[in-house]
Structure 1
Amino acid sequence: MEGPFGSDQVTLNPEDAHCNSSATSPETTGSSSQHVAKLRKMLFRTMLIGVDDGRYFLGLFHCIDKQGNILLQDAVEYRSARHSSSPPTEQRTLGLILIPAACRSSCHIDCSFEESMSLLSLDK
């Protein structure tokens, strides 16, 4: 399904970054620090995350932990309204939320095509 960000989808690799930014020092070398640097570029960008039950969450990317759980800041939940025909979707403001990796079905980030292609290399 195509969301408000088009069809660009970014896959996040949780083994390479987590919420504790102090764990990555300038002395750290290797691919792990490169992945962390790419994830830092995604901070506070608008992200749309779909979950298995059909809901979508739109918010600012705050962090990802080693298990792949994502924190969204200023999040809004969108779900289809089955009981009413007037509004196609219902929304409610949630604030700071954690979306478990096991529930996530899609993940889109608001960025240019070039940035999206660069970020896709995170899973290599």
Structure 2
Amino acid sequence: SRMEGLLGETLKVTLTDGRFVVGTFQCLDKKKNFILYNCEETRRVSDENGVEGDAKRSLGLVMVPGKHLVSVELEEKKTPDDGDGASAGGGGGGGDGGGGD
């Protein structure tokens, strides 16, 4: 099935209450219950001034009931480049050097 190709991939699962869980996909049953490991939950919170932010917590192993799923997305792989322009192996010229006389 299509989901077999996602085993071991990092997924972002959005829940009916607005939370989302990001973790490594391990299993899916016939009722569309997802099992993810190395999970982190994120939820929107407001402080006393009404300023919204994200509250995160580590959960470890999680079973997400299929009836609470809104969406499932494949998370992009993180690269060593954190936005500082110095990515490892990125943007090079292909490795031929281009200077052979």
Partner of 2:35: 71
Contact kept in structure 1, 2:13 and 2:21, CA below 8 Å: yes
Partner of 1:102: 67
Indicate the structure (1 or 2) with the bigger Cα radius of gyration.
Answer: 2
Quote the sequence identity (%): 27
Listed one character per residue, the Cα deviations across residues 6-25 of structure 1 (whole Å, up to 9, x for unaligned) are xxxxxxxxxxxxxxxxxxxx
Q: State TM-score, norm by structure 1.
A: 0.55
Gaps of 5+ in 1: 1-34, 112-124
Matched residue of 1:81: which SS? strand
Instruction: Give the alignment's Cα RMSD to 1 decimal.
Output: 2.0
If asked which structure has higher relative contact order (CA below 8 Å, sep 6+), I would say: 1
Number of aligned residue pairs: 76
Q: Letter of the 1:80 partner, please give it.
A: R
Q: State TM-score, norm by structure 2.
A: 0.67
Gaps of 5+ in 2: 77-101
List, as ranges, runs of 4+ consecutive aligned residues in structure 1 with deviation greater than 2 Å. 83-87
Partner of 1:90: 55
Identify the structure with the greater strand proportion. 2
